[in-house]
Amino acid sequence: MVELDERIITEAIIHRFFEKLRANLDVDVAIVGCGPSGLVAGTLLAEAGKRVAIFERKLSIGGGMWGGGMLFNEIVVQESALHLLQRFGIRYVPYRDHYYAADSIEAVTSLARAAVQAGATIFNTVTVEDVVMRPDRVIGLVINWTPVEMAGLHVDPLAIHARFVVDATGHDTEVVRVVAKKVPGKLNTPSGQIEGEKSMWSERAESLTLENTREVFPGLYVAGMAANATYGGPRMGPIFGGMLLSGEKVARELIQRLSDP
Ligand code: 48F
């Protein structure tokens, strides 16, 4: 038996982590937020051979999916997104007509496993605090450790470059907020600013999530709940089809954009 050496354990972690970080200094797509929309987008882009990094502020990934509705850990998905439950191997049961229920823990773990195994790199406990800009375009992200943010420490961040950034930060729409405030130019919204999320209306919210998934500023796309919050759509509650479909749509559009000359 070889005696375990604490220094080798430490060295392995440091070596592997910095390899991962270095490999993601320049990516095709940088996704902010590791909720359902970010995870679906990350998986499909990585499966298409794109270099994808996903940054998540929290230690845990999965965003608002773990808690189902009011901590009852089940989610509901409608017929139009059933193919995505199937694609990610998430088991479901039909409920009345056209509704499907799934265990939220199985949903998050299946999406996360798919994303990592497809080749997307997830950086958890990393907060995106700003973007990297060039004249009229977003070209990357400014990142820092979440504990630095939590402790209010004055520590300069680091930065990465990306051909496209996706704001999948949910209700807070944090990347779009920074761009609206600090990057010259206007958002591609009716007012040129963030329209703001509206109160709950599940049917309308689900279709608008898909419609609102698009490029909101050169180099910056919005997906998931962030898309509705940006374009003034309502919230939808614990139905998740729109989130999954939004991730699918942004991936499809970016695969196309990335193949443009
Ligand atoms: O909120 P979230 O799950 O986003 P989503 O994919 O899904 C929304 C649903 O969960 C639910 C809903 C509908 O059914 O309305 O809310 O749109 O995940 C967003 C993730 O982004 C992280 C945050 O911690 C969460 O896990 N996040 C937010 N801001 C930042 C961030 C930031 N500045 N840097 C890194 N991560």
Cα–Cα distance measured from residue 32 to residue 126, given in angstroms and rounded to the nearest whole number: 10
Q: What is the pLDDT of residues 48-103, one digit of tens each?
A: 999 999 999 999 999 999 999 999 999 999 999 999 999 999 999 999 999 999 99
For 135-175, how does the pLDDT look when each residue is reduced to its tens digit (9 = 90+)?
989 999 999 999 999 999 999 999 999 999 999 999 999 99
Pocket lining for ligand 1, CB < 6 angstroms: 32-38, 55-58, 63-65, 127-128, 168-170, 172, 174, 224-226, 235-236, 238, 240, 243
Measuring CA to CA, how many Å separate 248 from each of 83, 157, 169, 209? 11, 31, 16, 12
- Residue 91 contacts residue 106 (beta carbons within 8 Å): yes
CA nearest 98: which of 129, 73, 120, 77?
77
- The pLDDT confidence band at residue 1, using thresholds 50, 70 and 90, is confident
Q: Which of 105, 169, 177, 244 to mutate to test the pocket of ligand 1 (most atoms within 8 A of CB)?
A: 169
Cα(193)–Cα(216) distance, rounded to whole angstroms? 10
Q: What's the burial of 214, exposed, middle or buried (CB within 10 Å: 0-12/13-18/19+)?
A: middle
CB 119 within 8 A of CB 52: yes
CA angle, residues 120, 124, 130, in degrees to nearest 5: 95
Give distance in angstroms: CA of 9 to centre of ligand 1: 33
**Nearest atom (ligand 1) to Cα of 175:** 33
The CA-CA-CA angle for residues 79, 85, 91, to 5°, reads 105
What pLDDT does residue 261 have?
Answer: 75
Question: What is the torsion angle, in degrees rounded to the nearest 10, for the CA atoms of residue 40, residue 41, residue 47 and residue 50?
Answer: -160
- The pLDDT value recorded for residue 136 is 86
**How much is the average pLDDT of 100-117?**
98
Residue 120's pLDDT is what? 98
Mean pLDDT to the nearest integer, 28-35: 98
For residue 253, which phi and psi values (nearest 5 degrees)?
A: -65, -40
Mutate to test the pocket of ligand 1, among 44, 55, 56, 150 (most ligand atoms within 8 A of CB): 56
Q: What domains, with CATH codes, occur in the chain?
A: 24-259 (3.50.50.60)
- What pTM, to 2 d.p., does this model score? 0.98
